[in-house]
Structure 1
Amino acid sequence: MPPGPGHGPAVALPYDCIHHAFEAQAAARPDAVAAEHGDMSITYGELDRQADRLAGLLSAAGIGGGDLVPVVARRGIPLLVGLLAALKAGAAYVPLDARITPAEQLRHVLGTTRARVVLTTSDHRRLTPLRAVPSVIEVDTAAAGPLPAPDARRPAGAAPTGDDACYVLFTSGTTGPPNGVVVTHRNVCNLLLTEPGGLGIGPGQRVSQILNIAFDMAAWEILGALGRGATLLIRGRDIAETVRRADVVIATPTILTTVDPAHCERVRVVAVAGEPCPRALADRWAARAVFYNSCGPTETTIVNTMQRHTPSAPRLTIGRPTPNNTVYVLDAARRPLPPGETGEIWAGGAGISAGYLDNPELTAQRYAPDPFLGGGRLMFRTRDLGRWTADGELEILGRTDDQVKIRGFRVELDAVSAVLEALPGCVRAATLKLDSRTLVSFIARESSGGGPDPQTARQAVAAALPYYCVPDAVHILPRLPRTSRGKIDKAALRGLAEQHRAVHPEPDPVAEHIRAAEAEEAVR
Structure 2
Amino acid sequence: MSTIDYTTQRIDYVRRASDLATPSGLDDRDSRLFRRFGWGPARTVPRVGIHEMIERHAAVRPSVTAAQHGGERISYGELERRADRLAARLIQGGVSPGDRVALVVRRGIPMLVGILAILKTGAAYVPQDAKMVRNPALRHILATANCTIVLTQSDAPVELPPGVIGIDIDRDGEAADVPVPRIAHDPARACYVLFTSGTTGTPNGVAVTHANLANLLLTEPGDLGIRPGTTVGQILNIAFDMAAWEILGCLSHGGTLLIRGHDIAATARRVNVLIATPTILSRIDPEACEGIRTVAVAGEPCPSALADRWAERAAFYNGCGPTETTIVNTMQRHHPGVRLTIGKPTPNNTVYLLDEHRNPCPIGAVGEMWAGGDGVSAGYLANPGLNAERYAPDPFLGGGRTMFRTRDLGRWTLDGELEHLGRTDDQVKVRGFRVELDAVSAVLESVPGCVRAATVKLDDRTLAAFVQPSGVDPELARKAVAEALPYYCVPESIHLMEALPLTDRGKIDKARLLRLARLGREATA
Shorter-chain TM-score tier: 0.7 to 0.9
Give the conservation status (yes or no) of the 8 Å contact 2:204–2:381. yes
Establish whether residue 196 from structure 1 lines up as the match of residue 221 from structure 2.
yes
Question: Cα offset for 1:65?
Answer: 1.5
Deviations 1:267-297 (A, max 9, x none): 0001110111100010011011111011101
Secondary structure at 1:398 match in 2: strand
- Is there any run of 5+ residues in structure 1 with no aligned partner, and where? 405-431, 444-490
Moved more, 131-140 or 392-401: 131-140
Distance of aligned partners of 1:229 and 1:218 in 2 relative to their CA distance in 1, 3 Å threshold: same
In the alignment, residue 236 of structure 2 is paired with which amino acid?
L
Equivalent of residue 128 in structure 2, options 96, 100, 103: 96
Question: Cα offset for 1:334?
Answer: 2.1
Question: Cα offset for 1:333?
Answer: 2.9
Distance of aligned partners of 1:190 and 1:101 in 2 relative to their CA distance in 1, 3 Å threshold: same
In the alignment, residue 91 of structure 1 is paired with which amino acid?
A
| Residue number in structure 1 paired with 2:393 | 369
Establish whether residue 124 from structure 1 lines up as the match of residue 156 from structure 2.
yes
1:389-408 pair list within 5 angstroms: 389-402=413-426
In the alignment, residue 334 of structure 1 is paired with which amino acid?
R
| Residue number in structure 2 paired with 1:216 | 241
Q: Percent identity?
A: 60
Give the conservation status (yes or no) of the 8 Å contact 2:277–2:506. no
Q: Equivalents in 1 of 2:385, 2:425: separation in Å?
A: 18
Q: Equivalents in 2 of 1:438, 1:345: separation in Å?
A: 23
Question: Cα offset for 1:391?
Answer: 0.3
Q: Equivalents in 2 of 1:258, 1:521: separation in Å?
A: 15
In the alignment, residue 251 of structure 2 is paired with which amino acid?
L
Deviations 1:375-400 (A, max 9, x none): 11100001111111000101111222
1:484-523 pair list within 5 angstroms: 498-499=491-492, 501-502=493-494, 505=495, 515=501, 518=502, 522=506
Secondary structure at 1:3 match in 2: helix
Give the conservation status (yes or no) of the 8 Å contact 2:394–2:403. yes
Equivalent of residue 82 in structure 2, options 39, 42, 50: 50
Deviations 1:421-466 (A, max 9, x none): xxxxxxxxxxx999577686979xxxxxxxxxxxxxxxxxxxxxxx
Question: Cα offset for 1:15?
Answer: 3.9
| Residue number in structure 2 paired with 1:146 | 176
Equivalent of residue 205 in structure 1, options 221, 230, 239: 230
In the alignment, residue 184 of structure 1 is paired with which amino acid?
T
What is the CA RMSD across the aligned residues, in angstroms? 2.8
Question: Cα offset for 1:102?
Answer: 1.5
Deviations 1:225-249 (A, max 9, x none): 0000000000001111111110111
| Residue number in structure 2 paired with 1:309 | 334
Equivalent of residue 67 in structure 1, options 83, 95, 99: 99
Distance of aligned partners of 1:143 and 1:67 in 2 relative to their CA distance in 1, 3 Å threshold: farther
Give the conservation status (yes or no) of the 8 Å contact 2:37–2:416. yes
Give the conservation status (yes or no) of the 8 Å contact 2:236–2:505. no
Distance of aligned partners of 1:157 and 1:231 in 2 relative to their CA distance in 1, 3 Å threshold: closer
Q: Equivalents in 2 of 1:257, 1:386: separation in Å?
A: 24
In the alignment, residue 208 of structure 1 is paired with which amino acid?
G
1:165-184 pair list within 5 angstroms: 165-184=190-209
Establish whether residue 328 from structure 1 lines up as the match of residue 352 from structure 2.
yes
Q: Equivalents in 2 of 1:3, 1:441: separation in Å?
A: 37
| Residue number in structure 2 paired with 1:245 | 270
Q: Equivalents in 2 of 1:26, 1:15: separation in Å?
A: 19
Give the conservation status (yes or no) of the 8 Å contact 2:120–2:183. no
In the alignment, residue 150 of structure 2 is paired with which amino acid?
V
Secondary structure at 1:30 match in 2: coil
Q: Equivalents in 2 of 1:212, 1:403: separation in Å?
A: 28
Q: Equivalents in 1 of 2:368, 2:504: separation in Å?
A: 36
| Residue number in structure 2 paired with 1:381 | 405
Give the conservation status (yes or no) of the 8 Å contact 1:340–1:389. yes
- Is there any run of 5+ residues in structure 2 with no aligned partner, and where? 1-19, 21-33, 429-436, 442-451, 460-485, 508-525
Secondary structure at 2:36 match in 1: coil
Give the conservation status (yes or no) of the 8 Å contact 1:33–1:44. yes
TM-score when normalising by structure 1 = 0.77
TM-score when normalising by structure 2 = 0.77
Secondary structure at 1:47 match in 2: helix
